[in-house]
Chain A
Amino acid sequence: MKLPQFEYACPTTLHDAVALLAARAGDAKALAGGQSLMPMMAFRIAQPALLVDLRKLPGLREIKVSGDGVRLGAMVRWRDIEDDARLASAHPLLKAAIAHVAHYQIRNRGTVGGSLAHADPAAELPGIALTCEAEIAVMGKGGARTIKATDFFLGALTTALEADEIITELRLPPWPQERAKSRRWGFQEFARRRGDFAMAGVAAFYDLDNSNKAMNTHIGVIGIGDRPHRLPAVEAMLNGRAIDDASIERVAAATSAAVEPQDDIHASAAYRRALVGTLVERALTSAAA
């Protein structure tokens, strides 16, 4: 479990970093917090010829909160999100989800960009990005572009990122402040031990209209299937309805019916199917409370 040989570069500009990646045509990897890449290299699952360390790139460590929403620089660490008091109101769903990420040491190192690029199907941040319809800003040799989260996650550990592209920012749409009382949200996940990747997780939010009915419902699941995904049919069942025990129970059952989980060593598919229904039920119950 020792790393294979590789070259190492630590550029000081984004331009240089992109150029280094581009020159190796897929045989180089960007290194952010290293919390996934290093173990993969130690297991020799990943053997890039070059590591491009992003730690000296300027401007990627900022959390920006404005009327445009929350922008997380790619090198923002979990600890930064946890410690940022503004996020409690600027994006409570994000804050709640990130509280479940791994352990103390990992939260001091793991980054926003690293998590998105790694695209573990059970990871919290990709789930939040997808559920909230975020955009991912990237820079490549062809220049900057943004990719919708819906188009970004292509499969387990697979994204729309080109080999020469580096994530620069995650842009979460504004969390309505003026309607703070009418936006309802919940986040639930269950892992066998605290800090493990969840067997399933659910992020949910909706807004209440004037007659206390749900609108703009978003429900995303993680840990089920090969990438985070939304449940449009289930969301549609809630829009235009009052959220009460009966509707929550219906939605929970519909969720279980809508997902396609698989067996693995930690949980059976049937269990996961029931679990995700229960988590939707609990996320919506806590949202409505």
Chain B
Amino acid sequence: MKNTFIGSPVERREDLRFLRGRGQYVDDLAPEGLLYAVILRSSVAHGRIVSVDTKAALKIPGVHAVITANDMPGGPPIIPMRLQPLPEFKPFEQPVIASTKVRYVGEPLAVVLAKSVAIGEDALEAIEVEIESLPAVADWHVAAKNKNILFESQGTNRSLVFEARKGDADVIFASAPYVRREKMRTGRHYGLTLEPRGVMAEWDAARGRLTVSGAAKVPFFNRRILAKQINLPEDSIDMVENDVGGGYGARGEFYPEDFLIPFAARHVNRPVKWIEDRRENLMAMNHARETEAELEVACASDGTLLAIRGEIHTDMGAYMRTNGAVGARNVAQFLSGPYRVPHIKIDSSLWMTNKTPVGTYRGPGRFESSFYIERMLDMIAGDLGIDRVELRRRNLVTAAEQPYSIATIQPTNATDQYDSGDYRATLDRVLKEINWPEVSKLQGKLIGEKYHGLGVACFVEGGAAGPKETARLELNDDGTVSVFLGTSSVGQGVETVFAQIAADALEWPMERIRHVHHGSTSYVSDGYGAYHSRSTVMGGSAVLEATNHFQAAIREAGAKRLKCEAAAVKIDPDNVSGPDGQSFPLKELAGLTAEGAFLNKKHTYSYGAHAVHVTVDPKIGRIEIIDYVLVQDVGRAVNPLTLRGQMIGSLVQGLGGAVLEHLQYDEDGQFLTASLADYLLPTASDFPNLRCVILEDYPSPINPLSVKGAGEGGIVAAGGAIANAVANALQSFGVEPRQLPLTPTYIWELVQAGRQKQAAE
């Protein structure tokens, strides 16, 4: 039997339990004796803590305890960085609870443990907090003045400058025939998960064991942090992954609550649960994306890109969180996108401000840098009188140039290479899909009250972060197999994908893969989690390795029983047989288990192109999408159905960031978007006309499945594509969007400026 589950649109096996209401999220857990945790958060953006008085709160019936920094002998632990843990960042890392200073609205000050959340919230109002306010550093411009400093001992609000370097940009600029210089910026977003974060901790005092439910994304890493902070051996802690309602890079990182709740459970020797509400989710989960760039691009007169240089500034918020530096690195490293840029010199500064700290959000740094380069390409095409599609085609990295090296990042000395692909093929395909020759006749045309415009943008998407992933297969009593993984599910459908891979490799029917267990720390010896579009590449390859070891183990056991060479043993779904026709039922080997690991130092780079047709109502600044096509070459699509979900989902998220979403603060650092009435998430009616095309022309050379990570392609180029379409629609006003989101007010202002300029001429 030769299976072809890989490549087939297998329906998600997860969906059966979700659709029947049988999913189990951390908030579904309620053990005997449970206490509910509610967190008092700073309402002041920047200040010195004078006192936190919990006496009145403790008198409220139903309040069991109130925990503050004073309950932590030796002071509150600091949360270490997971990615780019440079010594320069150390002083800026976040304590689990504020003890001397508060640095953002939303920073934890106390934890109330009560018999209900409502009583806990009553108690919050009874805690008396005295904070001596300091002037707020509400954006990077204020931070850069270094007048008010978040971490006084550091003497600066800049935690680091990442340098992206390739060739010698300054020399090229000195003699370049054409240079365009632009200042642009992107809004502040976050990876809004429909299920907010949640942690439930149970302390077994007799056995000295801690069980933490609600783990997601990187449970093994988080266990290492927690073990150190709470002074327990790692193997005394079980991190349990329940169903997870979305990750997007933000859910599952180690946050203050990931210490506070286990600490509280041990402190009071009762199970303690904390479920983030949406207001907290908006002000406590990692923010992302807010950057400003001042860039120069040098070109030959035929539009060939020669060099890019400039500065990018990221508004980091108040602390360096676990993966906080990734966006600021990526925005510099991937500024050249899929284009051939021989000389690069970018300084990317990380500025600490009195806002919620940042972390990664799907396509970190890539969404921002794609907006910058794609906007500049359209402006350059206009200046040089070259068709913007032709300009891109001319500068896309060709298949012959692969593997292609991009800029090196300092101080981490990080190099990277694109692995394979013909980027022009996806551009050509997207133009064909949207019927470019025909619709391009509408460019800039006013029909009724609306102008029509087209936009195009190309992208690469990195995936497959190493170093390793582990999988284990175990034979059950009934002859089915269970798969265990160190990677995590954040809702992306990996149970289905891993079952497909295992069934194909074993040449068994899908239903013989009974369970796919993932995430929890008890399943395999080590795990690295779900981020950087790595689950299918790393976890899937590990499953493949594990099936090899699993089959070898069956052969070995079979050889012993059948008294033959292991190589001569045949396995079918029901029986193990030897060369002379002897056989025994496979299930007699129940309990047999084998682990496999996949190690990898390289990255996959899927790639593609976006094309969009919009209308813009210039008087009210409304953008409507008439048609949008995303083409992505993923090397090999394990499941086109779930992949399509990833592509459309990430595209809607990208458009949300490009048009609607923006986390806003006032100049005192007060948070202005603390509900979903103010942080505008796209809903089903906002972007209905989206299409996607999956290509598999260039398999990845770096893993046995030939797959490339593909969860971010929709989000990366959405900002650039739609901003280019708006510029194209409003060309008669000379409109060039230089910031996201493209709010009605901003578009109207651009049109007004264009009208005034025309009137003056």
- Enumerate chain A interface residues (CB-CB to B < 8 A): 1-5, 43-44, 190, 192-197, 199, 265-268, 270-271, 274-275, 278-279
Please name all residues of chain B whose beta carbon is closer than 8 Å to the beta carbon of A44 when the two chains form the complex.
121, 125
Interface string of B658-672 (1 = CB under 8 A from A): 001000100000001
A194 with B122: in contact, given A265-B673, A275-B620, A278-B620 (CB under 8 Å)?
A: no
Alpha-carbon distance between A196 and B677 when the two chains are bound, in angstroms: 8
Contact between chains at B686 and A194 (CB < 8 Å): yes
Interface string of B110-131 (1 = CB under 8 A from A): 0000001110011001000000
Contact between chains at B745 and A268 (CB < 8 Å): yes
Closest to A267 in B: B745
Closest to A103 in B: B683
B749 interface contact, C-beta 8 A: yes
A193 with B279: in contact, given A4-B122, A267-B744 (CB under 8 Å)?
A: no
Contact between chains at B664 and A265 (CB < 8 Å): yes
- Min Cβ gap A191→B in Å is 10
- Min Cβ gap B124→A in Å is 9
Interface string of B502-537 (1 = CB under 8 A from A): 000000000000000000000000000000000000
Mostly, the A contact residues are loop
A271 with B118: in contact, given A265-B672, A278-B619 (CB under 8 Å)?
A: no
Contact between chains at A274 and B121 (CB < 8 Å): no
Can you identify 12 A-B contacts, CB atoms within 8 angstroms?
A2-B118, A5-B118, A5-B122, A44-B125, A193-B685, A193-B686, A195-B685, A265-B664, A265-B678, A271-B744, A271-B749, A275-B620
Contact between chains at A192 and B680 (CB < 8 Å): yes
B477 interface contact, C-beta 8 A: no
Closest to B684 in A: A194
Using a CB-CB cutoff of 8 Å, which residues 52-100 of chain B contact chain A? none
Interface string of B625-667 (1 = CB under 8 A from A): 0000000000000000000000000000000000010001000
Closest to B686 in A: A193
Q: Of residues B675, B748, B752, which shows the largest number of chain A Cβ atoms within 10 Å of its Cβ?
A: B748
Contact between chains at B677 and A271 (CB < 8 Å): no
B691 interface contact, C-beta 8 A: no
B549 interface contact, C-beta 8 A: no
B621 interface contact, C-beta 8 A: yes
Please name all residues of chain A whose beta carbon is closer than 8 Å to the beta carbon of B685 when the two chains form the complex.
193-195
Alpha-carbon distance between A232 and B162 when the two chains are bound, in angstroms: 60
Contact between chains at A271 and B678 (CB < 8 Å): no
Q: Which of B118, B125, B278 contacts A3 (CB 8 A)?
A: B118
Closest to B666 in A: A265
Alpha-carbon distance between A255 and B621 when the two chains are bound, in angstroms: 19
Alpha-carbon distance between A197 and B121 when the two chains are bound, in angstroms: 29
Interface string of B682-710 (1 = CB under 8 A from A): 11011000000000000000000000000
Contact between chains at B279 and A43 (CB < 8 Å): yes
Known: A190-B744, A275-B748. 14 other contacts (CB 8 A): A1-B279, A3-B118, A5-B122, A43-B279, A190-B620, A192-B743, A192-B744, A193-B680, A194-B683, A266-B745, A271-B745, A274-B748, A275-B744, A279-B620
**Total chain B interface residues with beta-carbon distance under 8 A:** 31
Contact between chains at A192 and B660 (CB < 8 Å): yes
Contact between chains at B660 and A193 (CB < 8 Å): yes
- Min Cβ gap B716→A in Å is 23
Please name all residues of chain A whose beta carbon is closer than 8 Å to the beta carbon of B683 when the two chains form the complex.
193-195
Interface string of B580-621 (1 = CB under 8 A from A): 000000000000000000000000000000000000000111
A1 with B122: in contact, given A190-B622, A194-B685, A265-B672 (CB under 8 Å)?
A: no
- Min Cβ gap B736→A in Å is 19
Contact between chains at A2 and B121 (CB < 8 Å): yes
B182 interface contact, C-beta 8 A: no
- Min Cβ gap B211→A in Å is 26
Enumerate the 3 nearest inter-chain pairs by beta-carbon distance, A residue then B residue, closest first: A2-B118, A271-B745, A1-B277
Contact between chains at A1 and B278 (CB < 8 Å): yes
Alpha-carbon distance between A114 and B664 when the two chains are bound, in angstroms: 30
Contact between chains at B621 and A271 (CB < 8 Å): yes
Please name all residues of chain A whose beta carbon is closer than 8 Å to the beta carbon of B622 when the two chains form the complex.
190
Please name all residues of chain B whose beta carbon is closer than 8 Å to the beta carbon of A271 when the two chains form the complex.
621, 744-745, 748-749
Please name all residues of chain B whose beta carbon is closer than 8 Å to the beta carbon of A4 when the two chains form the complex.
118, 121-122
Please name all residues of chain B whose beta carbon is closer than 8 Å to the beta carbon of A194 when the two chains form the complex.
683, 685-686
Please name all residues of chain A whose beta carbon is closer than 8 Å to the beta carbon of B620 when the two chains form the complex.
190, 275, 278-279
- Min Cβ gap A286→B in Å is 12
Please name all residues of chain A whose beta carbon is closer than 8 Å to the beta carbon of B752 when the two chains form the complex.
274
- Min Cβ gap B187→A in Å is 12
Please name all residues of chain A whose beta carbon is closer than 8 Å to the beta carbon of B117 when the two chains form the complex.
2
- Min Cβ gap B299→A in Å is 36
Closest to B678 in A: A265
Closest to A1 in B: B277
Please name all residues of chain A whose beta carbon is closer than 8 Å to the beta carbon of B122 when the two chains form the complex.
4-5
Alpha-carbon distance between A270 and B621 when the two chains are bound, in angstroms: 13
Alpha-carbon distance between A193 and B277 when the two chains are bound, in angstroms: 23
Please name all residues of chain A whose beta carbon is closer than 8 Å to the beta carbon of B745 when the two chains form the complex.
266-268, 271
Alpha-carbon distance between A5 and B114 when the two chains are bound, in angstroms: 15
Please name all residues of chain A whose beta carbon is closer than 8 Å to the beta carbon of B619 when the two chains form the complex.
274-275, 278
Using a CB-CB cutoff of 8 Å, which residues 132-185 of chain B contact chain A? none
- Min Cβ gap A123→B in Å is 13
Please name all residues of chain B whose beta carbon is closer than 8 Å to the beta carbon of A190 when the two chains form the complex.
620, 622, 744
Please name all residues of chain B whose beta carbon is closer than 8 Å to the beta carbon of A193 when the two chains form the complex.
660, 680, 682-683, 685-686
Alpha-carbon distance between A134 and B749 when the two chains are bound, in angstroms: 37
